Structures are given as structure tokens and as C-alpha cells.
Amino acid sequence: MISSTPQAVLPLEVSIPPQADLSVLLLMQQASTLDQHGQAEAAEALYKQILDLQPKNFEALNFLSQIALQTGRLEPCVDLLDRAIDVFPARAELHTRRGRVLMQLKRHAEALASFEQAILIDPEFADTHDCHALALRNLNRNEEALACLERAIKLRPDDADARLHLGDTLHKLKRYDEALASFDRALELRNDFAEAFTSRGALLADLNRHEEAAESYAEAARIRPDLADAHLDEGLCRLAAGNFAKGWKKYEWRWQTARLGKSKRVFEQPLWLGAQSLTGKTILLHAEQGIEDTIQFCRYAKRLAAQGATVLLEAPACLVPLLETLEGVSQVFAEGDPLPEFDYHCPLLSLPLAFGTSLATIPTNTCYLKGDPARIAAWQQRLGNTPLLRIGLLWSDLAAHNASHAIPLQKFAALVYGRAQYISLQLDVPAADLPVLEQHGEIMRVADQLDDLSNAAALIASLDLVIAADSRIAHLACAMGKPVWLMLAFRPSWRWMLERSDSPWYPSVKLFRQPAADDWDSVVTRVARELDKWRA
């Protein structure tokens, strides 16, 4: 029973905050108002003043960390989050946010530790499991990442992002059917999920289903018209499938992507894409990507010269001596050399678009690059007079940065049999292949003589046949019109197109494709059979 007797009223004890605390309260009110009105920069200045007065003020630390993240100041963001965690160490969302920032900094091991701490604090937070999986995947711990994503999806079955990340992880693990099902489920949950269409496209392209992949990329670009990678990857799929009309246009999106945009050159002179007359004009062609691309597309110089242009060509220094003999070129410059005056410029890989190149109109100059006669004579003397076939061998290209295109020498060496003179065209030998190479003394090793591509061209000119993995040396041999047997990974570069055993770009090449990923054995077997016929 509650007593109804009046209680004595105690006098209130009024506590007057210190002047510093009053200043902080006032500053926080002002900063909050500024933030609500979109004046983040002014609010940031006030929150910094608050931290000067109260270094452990959580609201200020939290706000400033978010501003630092939004403005791309990632290292200061981590420092601010560390200070916020010191104030409230048991807040899982702080550890999760810290891990996300560390992933952007590519400090993946530290990010992983942050996510693990967040999970210890709150194991039921699905977002943390999702992020934890991404950190594990960045460390190539894909099986563990898969388990994390399964936990995230169990906690939140309708999370489209987690389904996307699950599909990406299954893709890395080469569990293609499951990955495709996961992307499709993500799109059921969110039908305007551009990133899921992009990942789906990448998977289909890896399966050589390029038409389907292109449509998936196109849908991503429709949803997000600024998604440059989707446009570019659609273009690559169109080119691989032989749809040059769409492919070259989409390929121009490369300049908007992070992976290729940094190589874009900016000149005062206008870009030439075929519209202006070149009669009496000077045009600069410039390399933009790898050695292979420069070799493949420098052929267009002859067509420009035929339009009345003076053609200048800028290329990697290692190619300059070779390109100086290229028909149609007036002068060749190494990258970084001072350039003379010119009227227009064009990146080499934009020339097919400028000329409206189709399969029927590819310039098929059969041998537009040539070896230096004096160097060829020197190689002929080095190799000696022999009735045997001279066969150049190349099984990997460390400079290509694509491990799937490299053939383990243990498998490739099965082609080294019978009477022939075998010469290694390797500029560098993978460490794993060195013991195997030592066992094959019949392979002449001349890497020390291939000091530049001009010397390599002179050696190639002295050979009867080149058997190679996709590489810059293989391109050089193709551009010289030398018979080349090219051994291709299951998903090769777009330039080799699909299914065909020849190339419209290089008439002297014969293509041997993997029927399935990582299956070099069957490729080697087919090449060996062809080699037997050739010897006969």
C-alpha cells in the first residue's frame, strides 16, 4: 500500500557545469545545426574545436570519422575510429566500420581482426559476417569466406548483397553453377542490382558464354549508365564474339575505368576518330597498354599514310627499333621523348573504331614487322647450318601477369622430342620451371641474347615454327608472318575470339584452345599430333 502522507520536499541541489562543458554544449548544438543544414565543412571545424576541449567526446569523434571517410581521408578516419573505440570498446558497429576502412586501405589482415572483434561483441550482426567474408577473400581464404557468408545469409536470408558476395566467392572457387544460382537469387531479391549483373557477366564470360555475358553487362549499364566497367566488359565480350560494330564503341569506355583510365593521354590537339580529313596533316599514334596491343594495332599506320597523313608513332622504348621499319610511319619516338608538332592524335586501340573495322576489313598485313638483316645473319651463324627444323618454344610470359595463360613446362616439354633444333624464346623462366629446364639440355637457352625485341625478331626470322603460349613474343612472331602455333587458355584474350582455329588478325597463326579450364594436357596432345604431321 502506497502511503498518501505528503513527503517532505528536499531542496534541489543545483550543479553548475564548468565553463568548458558549457562551451562544448554550445559548440555541439551549433555543429549539429550546421550538419542538419548540409554545412558539413563548418560543422567539421566546430567538432575539431570540441575535441580540443574534450579529446574523448564520442559524438565529435564519430562525426569526424564519417566526414574523413566521405572525403577519402582514410588514414585519419582509422585514427578517429581508434579513439572512438577507446571510448566505447564494446560497440560492434565501430569495429565493423573500422574494418571496412582498413579494407579500402588494403590492410586486409588488420581489417580481419576488426571484424573478428565485432563478431565477438555481437555475433548476430549479419553485416559483420558479410564484411568478415570479404576480408578473408582478399586474403585468398575463400573456403573460410564461404562459411562466413553462409552465416550472414542464415541471419538475413533476403540480403541481396550477401548473395552477391556468396556468388563472387563461389566463382573464385570455380563452383560455377552454384555461383550463377547465387547471382540469380540476388537479382530476384533486387532486380535493379547492377553489381550483381556485372558479376554474373564476369562468370558467364569465364565460361565462354560471351553473348549472355554481354547482355548481363548491358543490363548493368542500363541500370547504372555511369558504370564504366560494365560498358567496357560488354565491349570485350562483343569483340570476342565478333560483334565489332558494338564492341569498338563500348571499348572507348576504357578511359572511364580505374583499371585503364590512368593511361589516358591528354593533348591540346584533338582526338582523331575518323571524322576529319588527314590530307597534309600530321597525326600522332600512341601506345596505351601492353607490348602485345602495340604490336597488333600498329598495322593501321599504313592506312593513315594512305589518307595523306604524316604518321608519328610513340611506343615503348623496347619496340622503337622494330617499329622504325613499319610501313607508313615517318618517325618513331620512345615514350617520354620530346614530340614534334602534330595536328591530331589517336591511341592505337581506338584505330579500329576510327576505321569502322569489321571482320571483313581487318588490315591483314601478313608480315608488317621485320628483323634487322645484320642481326638475322648473326643468328643464322649462331644456330649453324642444319637440315633440322628450327622450332622456337615459349610456354609463359611473366610480364603478362596472367597466370592462366602460362603452361607448366612439365607439360609443355612433352613437345620436345624427335629430331629438331629447339630454341627457347623465354625472356624469363618461372622459378618452378628451372629444374625441368635443366633436364632438357636439348633446348637451346638464349635469354641472355634476347636483350631487346629487335634481337628476338632476328631470332624468330631464323626459325621455321614458333610454338607458344599467348605472349608478346608470340605476337611478334605473328606480326612477322612466321608460322605460329598458339596454345590458348580456356578463356583467352578477346582478340583470339571464340571457337575458331585461325585468326583474322594474323593469317599465319594456328590456334589450339583448352576445351576446359586448366586442361593443358589435351592441348599438348593435339599440338604433338600436328607436329608429327609437320615433320612428315
Residues contacting residue 270 through CB under 8 Å, at least 6 positions apart: 276, 344, 345
Do the domain assignments include residue 106?
Answer: yes
**What is the predicted pLDDT for the residue at 12?**
37
Residue 9 binned pLDDT confidence (cut-offs 50, 70, 90): very low
CA 406 – CA 474 distance, rounded (Å) = 13
Asked, for residue 23, whether it belongs to a domain, the answer is: no
Cα of first residue to Cα of last residue in the chain, in angstroms, is 114
pLDDT tops 90 at residue 256: yes
| Structure confidence at residue 316 (pLDDT) | 94
Tell me the sheet residues that pair with 346. Answer: 285
pLDDT tens-place string over residues 292-303: 999 999 999 999
Q: 388 with 510, same domain?
A: yes
Inside any domain, residue 164:
yes
Residue 105 confidence (pLDDT):
95
CATH of residue 101: 1.25.40.10
Write down the pLDDT at residue 38. 67
Domain limit, last residue, from 210, 241, 272: 241
58 vs 161: CA distance, rounded Å: 30
Proportion of the chain above pLDDT 70, given as a percent: 94
In a domain, 56, yes or no: yes
Q: At how many degrees (to 10) do helices 40-53 and 58-70 cross?
A: 140
Domain identity same for 235 and 100: yes
- Contact between 468 and 394 under an 8 Å Cβ cutoff? The reply is yes
Query: How many domains is the chain built from?
Result: 3
pLDDT in tens, 462-516: 999 999 999 999 999 999 999 999 999 999 999 999 999 999 999 999 999 999 9
Residues 315 and 383 in one domain: no
Query: Across 254-263, 396-405, 439-448, 450-459, which has the greatest mean pLDDT?
Result: 254-263
* Residue 418: band (very low, low, confident or very high) from pLDDT cuts 50, 70, 90: confident
Q: Which CATH number covers residue 470?
A: 3.40.50.2000
pLDDT digits (tens, 9 = 90+) for 17-68: 444 565 767 777 776 776 666 676 777 778 788 888 888 888 888 888 988 8
Residue 13 scores a pLDDT above 60: no
Of 361, 389, 404, the one marking the end of a domain is: 361
Helix axes 453-461, 472-479, angle to 10 degrees: 50
pLDDT surpassing 70 at residue 267: yes
Write down the pLDDT at residue 274. Answer: 96
Lowest mean pLDDT among 10-14, 37-41, 254-258: 10-14
On whether both 104 and 125 belong to a single domain, the answer is yes
Can you list the alpha helix ranges (DSSP code H) found in 224-358?
228-240, 244-251, 258-261, 291-297, 301-306, 320-323, 351-354
* pLDDT of 427: 84
What residues have CB less than 8 Å from 234, skipping those under 6 apart?
201, 214, 217, 218, 221, 246, 250
Tell whether 433 and 527 lie within a shared domain: yes
Output the CA–CA distances (angstroms, integers) from residue 447 to 111, 247, 443, 451, 455, in the order listed.
Answer: 43, 38, 12, 8, 10
What pLDDT does residue 18 have? Answer: 46
Give the model's pLDDT for residue 62: 85
User: Does the structure show a pLDDT above 60 at 98?
Assistant: yes
- How many Å apart are CA 33 and CA 315, to the nearest integer? 57
Please, which pLDDT band fits residue 337 given cuts at 50, 70 and 90?
A: very high
Does 309 share its domain with 377?
A: no
Per-residue pLDDT for 116 more than 90? yes
Three-class DSSP category at 415: helix
Q: How many CB atoms lie within 10 A of CB 213?
A: 25
Task: List Cβ neighbours of 258 (8 Å cut-off, separation of 6 or more).
Answer: 229
Q: How confident is the model at residue 4 (pLDDT cuts 50, 70, 90)?
A: very low
Radius of gyration of the chain (CA): 31
**Does 96 share its domain with 225?**
yes
Range of the domain at 446: 373-535
Q: What is the pLDDT of residues 193-231, one digit of tens each?
A: 999 999 999 999 999 999 999 999 999 999 999 999 999
The CATH number assigned to the domain holding 310 equals: 3.40.50
Domain-ending residue, one of 339, 361, 383: 361
**392 & 508 share domain:** yes
Q: Is the pLDDT of residue 327 over 60?
A: yes
DSSP state of 332: E
Q: 320 and 286 share a domain?
A: yes
Same domain, 91 and 220: yes
Kindly state whether residue 401 falls inside one of the protein's structural domains: yes
Q: What is the pLDDT of residues 134-181, one digit of tens each?
A: 999 999 999 999 999 999 999 999 999 999 999 999 999 999 999 999
Per-residue confidence (pLDDT) for residue 379, from 0 to 100: 93
- What single string gives the DSSP state of each residue in 85-100? HHH-TT-HHHHHHHHH
Whether the pLDDT of residue 398 is over 60: the answer is: yes
Is the Cβ–Cβ distance between 149 and 492 less than 8 Å?
Answer: no
- The cell numbers describing 494, all together, are 578477346
Q: Determine phi and psi for 364, rounding to 5 degrees.
A: -100, 55
Each residue of 387-423: b (16+ CB within 10 Å) or e?
Answer: eebbbbbbbbbeebeeeebbbebeebbebeeeebbbb
In the predicted model, what is the mean pLDDT of the chain?
Answer: 90
Same domain as 406, residue 336: no
Q: What is the pLDDT of residue 10?
A: 37
Kindly state whether residues 400 and 493 are assigned to the same domain: yes
